[in-house]
Homo-oligomer: A and B are copies of this chain.
Amino acid sequence: VGKTQEEITAALKARILFFNVESIPELKLINKLAGKLNLKAQVAIRINPNVDADTHDYITTAKKQNKFGIDLKTTRHIFLNLSKELKNLDICGVHFHIGSQIEQVRPFRQALGKALELIESLRQKGCAITHLNIGGGLGIIYKKEKPQTAADYARTVISFVRGKKLNLILEPGRFVVGNAGVLLAKVIYVKNTPVKRFLIVDAAMNDIIRPSFYGAYHEIIPLNVKRKAKLKKVDVVGPVCESGDFIAKNRALPDNLKEGDVLAVMSAGAYCFGMASNYNSRCRPAEVLVKGRKFTVINRRQNYRDLIRGEKISNR
């Protein structure tokens, strides 16, 4: 939604394919900086199609009150008028990204409809639009969601773009990696209180903030637990110093889980490590890539040295 001058200059020098631009000031700044470098930058306008993606408020990104994108009227003004002044830009793309974890087809149909209508009408007035970036947002299964499949999605998209001579750009993120990641958490204490049982694990909100930040659900599967057991509702929590530090609340899990057992927190491939912090001076976990029976540590566990790297004691 806002690239700094330094970021734009670096991207221009790296000859990136496209800038997805979200405001007129940003457009003017890129034009100016491209001019300085004597370059012509390819630009797509990120439109705000004003559709409700029907997902968590924080990840709905295409309603008119959101900070993202440019309304359709202003977009037309940019293509039809402003583009003539912006000599160092080739404004040849339309972009939208309506949100994240979208389960229904409807919001995509609405956005595609609006984008194609815009493109058709601009083309009729002489604009050469060559690229359509439809963003990401495909929902995945965390619990019992029944999101559209990739095939459903493809059919929807094709029904809009077939024959339109548009280069299509997609930005699937969570859909590709979300279900592929698992967070392993070891039970360090089973804590019974008069009103509740807590499984205190060695992972915490600093590793996986989605449950407390978005109220998100992650499936939890105990590993290597052969013992037969009834289910009991427990809170799975980390060692961080606040009540917001939980991975699951009132989750039915085998009632004989004990210290040392390992829980797999499923579907942790997106927005977990990526949003991880060092809150409570906790080191970030290692990342391990698994392929069949082979594995590689692709990111080592942080240590305390990492936490203070860059720090300096003032002698003032």
Contacts and interface: CB of A to CB of B under 8 A. Distances in A.
A244 B291 contact: no
Contacts of A314: 289, 291, 296, 298
Most buried by B among A193, A275, A279, A313: A193
A278 to B, nearest CB: 8
A310 interface: yes
B189 A26 contact: yes
B1 A237 contact: yes
A96 to B, nearest CB: 13
A155 interface: no
A117 to B, nearest CB: 18
Interface stretch (A64-72, A141-149, A261-269): A64-72
Contact of A275 (B22, B60, B279): B279
Contacts of A212: 58, 213
Nearest to A191: B23
Interface in A209-256: 212-213, 235, 237-246
Given A65-B195, A189-B2, A242-B100, A310 B302 contact: yes
Nearest to A288: B314
Interface in A289-316: 289, 291, 294-300, 302, 306, 309-316
Contacts of A60: 243
A240 B1 CA distance: 7
B59 A242 contact: yes
A2 B296 contact: no
A249 B55 CA distance: 20
A238 B2 CA distance: 8
Interface in A154-200: 188-191, 193-196, 198, 200
Contacts of A242: 58-59, 61, 100
A120 interface: no
B289 A316 contact: yes
Given A4-B202, A259-B25, A306 B312 contact: no
Nearest to A301: B310
Most buried by B among A25, A67, A73, A190: A67
A88 interface: no
Most buried by B among A48, A100, A246, A310: A310
A274 interface: yes
A97 to B, nearest CB: 8
A277 B213 CA distance: 14
Interface of A: 1-5, 22-23, 25-26, 48, 57-61, 64-68, 70-71, 73, 97, 100, 188-191, 193-196, 198, 200-202, 212-213, 235, 237-246, 259, 274-279, 289, 291, 294-300, 302, 306, 309-316
Q: In the A-B complex, list the 3 residue pairs whose CB atoms are closest, starting with the nearest.
A: A58-B244, A2-B200, A296-B314
